Amino acid sequence: MDTPSRDQPFGSLSVAMVTPFASDGTVDPERAAALAVHLVDSGCDGLVVTGTTGETSTLTDEENVTMFRAVVEAVGGRARIVAGTGSNDTAHSISLSKRAQQAGADGLLLVTPYYNKPSQAGLQAHFTAIADATELPIMLYDIPGRSGVPIATETILRLAEHPRILALKDAKADYTATTRVLSATDLAVYSGDDGLTLPLMAAGAVGVVSVTAQIAPRRFRELVDAAFAGDFSTARQAHFDLDPLIRAVMTHLQGAVAAKQILHWQGLLPEPGVRLPLVTPTAQELEPVLADLAEAARSLDLDFDLKDLKQEVLP
């Protein structure tokens, strides 16, 4: 694999991987490795390990490191392996980031500190301290809907001057603010909202960090490649084809819950279990997911029989 460039430091189609659990609730590194191989074989050139979708908030540090090592060993050198090491405790994030580097990760995903609601000066100090403490390139993760605090545009502009802060995963849904980041910095911007991949790439984003792409990686690959090539007719059709699948994964349930359930139906996860406080969905909760999947199946191969599945799942 080529040396990463600042223009595209973490690939173009990166999947926010789920963390597979065995039937007893323990992390299943063998299944994680198998899923990573499947995703890379299907066109993904980046994998985010133990991010939000990887349920990092309920993993121990040892479990995080186990996941980093499993994925690095499985596909290291074939895709950029980005470790989710962000938290609302700067010292803890530094410690886990150092362990991610030792485990062979290619980069770090640092989410905005959540719950304690720091000031913008606090955010800048937090991200800078982590960047100063490791040698790995960093992707900032701006998702105020989860963290409670946005990374202000001016703060992003200042952080972009740090030699190891190379990218932004943008999940703020503020197109104007993202446009300013794209025009005023050389940060590699990645869509952090699956449904906004096409419009953000039209403005200059280099790709997506996607939850839904682990369900349909090849179609997402087609969207990203077409957008890069300036073939927006093809990219637009892929965007339309993926829309009901994105709704199925991201609209009705928490993303990890929905993604694990569909991966289970695809035969890629033996167990769809999640950790408390997340719970597996009821048949009633799955009904709108199945309705969206039926719409998606008109243009996507989802690798399972929806008719049989509905008879099995719905009362």
* Cβ atoms of residues 16 and 50 within 8 Å: no
Measured CA to CA, the distance from residue 195 to residue 65 in angstroms comes to 30
State the pLDDT at residue 1.
52
DSSP class of 161 = T
- pLDDT tens string 157-183: 999 999 999 999 999 999 999 999 999
Band (pLDDT 50/70/90 cuts) for residue 203 is: very high
| Confidence check: pLDDT of 38 > 70 | yes
Band (pLDDT 50/70/90 cuts) for residue 197 is: very high
Catalytic residue among 169, 172, 190, 260: 169
| Confidence check: pLDDT of 3 > 70 | no
Spell out the residues 6+ positions from residue 52 whose beta carbon is closer than 8 angstroms to its own: 16, 84, 111, 143, 146, 255, 256
| Confidence check: pLDDT of 122 > 70 | yes
State the pLDDT at residue 4.
42
State the pLDDT at residue 80.
98
Average pLDDT over residues 103-132: 98
- pLDDT tens string 52-85: 999 999 999 999 999 999 999 999 999 999 999 9
| Confidence check: pLDDT of 6 > 90 | no
3-state SS string for 221-247:
HHHHHHHHCCCHHHHHHHHHHHHHHHH
Spell out the residues 6+ positions from residue 64 whose beta carbon is closer than 8 angstroms to its own: 50, 56, 83, 84, 85, 96, 99, 100
Catalytic residue among 114, 115, 117, 141: 141
Measured CA to CA, the distance from residue 261 to residue 152 in angstroms comes to 35
- pLDDT tens string 227-283: 999 999 999 999 999 999 999 999 999 999 999 999 999 999 999 999 999 999 999
* CA separation, residue 265 to residues 164, 251, 290, 296 (Å): 40, 18, 11, 15
Report the percentage of the chain scoring pLDDT > 90. 94
**Which is higher by pLDDT, 205 or 6?**
205
Spell out the residues 6+ positions from residue 274 whose beta carbon is closer than 8 angstroms to its own: 21, 55, 256, 257, 260, 280
25 — phi, psi (to 5°)?
A: 90, 0
| Confidence check: pLDDT of 206 > 80 | yes
The pLDDT mean for the chain works out to: 96
Clarify whether 141 is annotated catalytic: yes
Clarify whether 169 is annotated catalytic: yes
Average pLDDT over residues 29-47: 98
User: What's at 141, amino acid-wise?
Assistant: Y
State the pLDDT at residue 2.
47
State the pLDDT at residue 314.
87
